[in-house]
Structure 1
Amino acid sequence: MADGVYAGRADRDAALDRGWLLGHFKDPADPRHCAELEIKWGVHPQGDTRAEWATGEIRTALLVLISGRFRMMFPGHDVVLAEQGEYVLWGKGVDHSWHAEEESVVLTVRWPSVPGYRVDAPKPD
């Protein structure tokens, strides 16, 4: 990256860090380190569901459907993304969860990039 340009492949780079391509959690020497926002390339098999609801959110988020059928759940209503390019945006304080109704790929952008927001997958018994 001597010239200030980084080129990669979302599917390959995302697989190295739970889907995340950019954010505060990248090494500061990595050009993908950023305190302002986070970008995730999420690949979800059919039936994949968030391990627990996100509550007390202090960020804003935008989720764009690349492929598949993806349900975003919010208190009182759901948003189903079924066509490429459909998106949903939610702000601070909005609890949420999600479910992949079909094998899905989604692009998520969150801002700001805040340490401490991580939900690990459930450990197998």
Structure 2
Amino acid sequence: MSIATGNAFDDGPAHRGWLVGTFIEPPDSVANSTDVEIKWGTHAAGEERAEWTTGETRTSMMVLISGRFLQRLPDREVELRRQGDYVMWGPGVVHAWRAIEDSVMMTVRWPSV
């Protein structure tokens, strides 16, 4: 049986916040998965990815854990304000973001590549 424990705040920085995915070592770890990627992201107020992320081949979902966060998509901006608010988009959708307040986000992408 594979088991992993830890703390997302402590373990995340080793892989830019990613806790599960094909890139997690060792390859036989329960956290190494070709099915899904999971990230615990902490973002200071004002932090942003202003340029559009392009060429994405996965489906993505971001869930607000705390704070306020703005997800920019081609046809709209989605403000995540309340704990549990989420936004999901499919492959090929360009996106950018900005933390309105100090924010903690959980991102899930599938499959892991």
Pairwise TM-score range, normalised by the shorter structure: over 0.9
Cross-structure match for 1:10? 8
SS in 2 for 1:72: strand
Is 1:77 aligned to residue 76 of structure 2? yes
- 1:6-36 CA distances to partner (integer Å, 9 max, x unpaired)? 1111111112221000101112133211111
Does the 8 Å CA contact 2:50/2:97 hold for their aligned counterparts? no
Task: Give the aligned residue type for 1:46.
Answer: A
Instruction: In structure 1, list runs of 5 or more residues that go unmatched.
Output: 115-125
Tell me which residue corresponds to 1:21: 19
Q: Please tell me the root mean square deviation across aligned C-alpha atoms, in Å.
A: 1.2
Per-residue CA deviation, residues 40-90 of structure 1 (Å, 9 max, x unaligned), is 000000111116311122100110000000000011210000000000110
| 2:97 aligned partner, one-letter code | W
What TM-score do the two structures reach when normalised by structure 2?
A: 0.93
Count residues in correspondence. 112
Structure 2 partner of 1:93: 92
TM-score, scaled relative to structure 1: 0.85
Match of 1:118 in 2: none
Moved over 4 A (4+): none
Question: Aligned partners of 1:69 and 1:79: how far apart in 2?
Answer: 11
1:43 aligns with 2:52: no
Q: Determine the C-alpha separation between the residues in 2 that align with 1:51 and 1:37.
A: 25
Match of 1:58, SS state, is coil
What CA distance in whole angstroms lies between the structure 2 residues aligned with 1:105 and 1:9? Answer: 14
